[in-house]
A and B are shown apart, each in its own frame.
Chain A
Amino acid sequence: MEIIKIIGALITLLGSVFLLLGSIGLIRMPDVFTRIQTGTKASTLGTLLSLLGIGIIYFDIAGKIFLLIVFILITNPVSSHMLARAAHYIGVKKADVTVVDELEDFENEKLNNKTKISE
């Protein structure tokens, strides 16, 4: 039994290392979008591994842990997508290293069409 607990603790530790790296990225990255990349998603594996480790230690709640993992996999991308989309629509400043922005042209085109219709 002891060995299973040690394995579970090690997996949780590995998950917390990924969470730490995500937090470091949150400070180091230059703009909103790259922060969303590291802050909400370099931590995906961190959260999953932490939960998996807990599920291995306390095996009687493994079903609930599995459900938690599934719901995180469904809801996490929706929230980060909406944050990024809202940030881009209100025109948050992008970092200077940004190489290409094909979405901007698309949005401008849509805006022009709207003004044409209203005229």
Chain B
Amino acid sequence: MKIKSLIISIITLFVIWVLLNMKLSTEVLISGAVVSVLVGLIFCYTCGIFDDLKLNPKAIGYWFLYIFVFIGELVKSNFDVARRVVSPKLPINPGFVEVKTKLKSKLGRMILTNSITLTPGTLTVELKDDTIFIHWIDVKGENMEEHTNAIVSKFEKYLEVIYG
């Protein structure tokens, strides 16, 4: 279903245009609509990047929930890393760990790995099929299940609903 990706990308371009202009006069809206439809048709005529996105009310609700969960994790881990940086003994315990993801869609995996990278303390180094290699500043736990539970699960349970 390519038409869904096309429509989503046109809407995204239009919203970016309106936010850049910050006013809602007729010229701005008309020129923005024309240009976003043209650019969308030229560059996203056959692309399918948004096809996995679900658009039912539950998924949209989980989107907002996910944004709040993500901001919470971002703040929490920022304070954690800041604490490690300023403490005199430098309490770090770094290592590369391997975790598995249950997500199937490419866009979902991209969002998951980008979220892992954006939270300080964890850094995605390599993604191969369903295996993610993460550089973790404070390795806890012994095996792959424990690592997966500590890093991936908190984001994955929301993304599973959004992308399936």
Q: Which A residues have a C-beta under 8 Å from some C-beta of B?
A: 18, 21-22, 24-25, 28-31, 33-34, 36-38, 41-42, 44-45, 60-64, 66-67, 73-74, 76-78, 80-81, 84-85, 88, 95, 97-104, 106
Tell whether, in the assembled complex, residue B117 and residue A81 are in contact, meaning their CB atoms are under 8 Å apart.
yes
Complex: A101 Cα to B125 Cα, angstroms: 12
- Bound-state CA distance A21–B78 (Å) is 10
With the chains together, A106 CA to B99 CA distance in Å?
Answer: 13
Contacts of A100 in B (CB 8 A): 95-97, 139
Is B85 a contact of A77 with CB atoms below 8 Å? no
B contacts with A, residue count (CB < 8 A): 39
Decide if B69 is an interface residue (CB 8 Å cutoff). Answer: no
Q: Which one, B19, B75, B139, contacts A66 given CB within 8 A?
A: B19
- The verdict on A103 contacting B137 (CB below 8 Å), with A24-B86, A64-B19, A67-B20 known, is no
- Residue contact B124 to A101, C-beta cutoff 8 Å: no
A63-B95 CB under 8 A given contacts A37-B121, A44-B74, A80-B123:
no
Task: Check if B82 sits within 8 Å of A18, measured CB to CB.
Answer: yes
Known: A21-B82, A73-B118, A106-B98. A85 touches B92 (CB 8 A): no
